[in-house]
Amino acid sequence: MFLERVRIATDGSDLAVRAAQMGALLARSGAGRMVAVSVAQPRFHLPDGGMAAPDSQATQAEFARARHAARAHVDTVLAIARQGGVSCDAETPLASAPGPDIIRVAEEHDCDLIVMGTHGPNDANHLFVGSVAQYVLANSPIPVLLLRDPREASQPDFIEGVAS
């Protein structure tokens, strides 16, 4: 498969940086193009009692914070692409859940592969990858490459040549 364009999803974590580095290597082996996306996710908290909504000034400040964080994340990917000699576009859509926008951006840019990091299963659920990665993996018509931190990987139940 020849890669025309590789889509990098980033949340700013160390694992997302590793995914961006892998994406740059893959993109360089193909047409040398990447698309970075970090979904700006505003977080709103209701005060105790739960009846009062945030005022418009607080709402605008939270939108600005979310956009600033997402922009910083894609700027890191842009720097990695530049160092790897790969061209890179960037988008920072605003949404409460990143999964659908990760797929949408990849489709709009005709990406051949989505590369993203996943923190893997947590203590509550040892069977599934992270919720965003799980959503993208289950719903994307585009192939997905998930990278995990090897320090978070569980030991295999069976190792060839070694009886348990």
- CATH ID of 6-45+54-152, from 3.40.50.620, 3.90.1010.10, 3.40.47.10, 2.40.50.1070: 3.40.50.620
Asked whether residue 124 carries a pLDDT value surpassing 60, the answer given is: no
Note the pLDDT tens digit of each residue in 49-91.
656 666 788 889 999 999 999 999 999 999 999 999 999 999 9
Tokens (6 digits) for 52: 């009062």
More confident residue, 99 or 46: 99
- Domains of the chain, by residue range, sit at 6-45+54-152
Q: Which contacts (CB < 8 Å, 24+ apart) does range 48-52 have?
A: none
Closest Cα partner for 24 from 36, 12, 39, 38?
36
Number of Cβ within a 10 Å radius of residue 44: 11
Note the pLDDT tens digit of each residue in 133-161.
999 999 999 999 999 877 765 655 655 66
Predicted TM-score (pTM) above 0.75 = yes
> Mean of the pLDDT values across residues 100-107?
96
Transcribe 65-97 into DSSP letters: HHHHHHHHHHHHHHHHHHHTT-EEEEE--B-S-
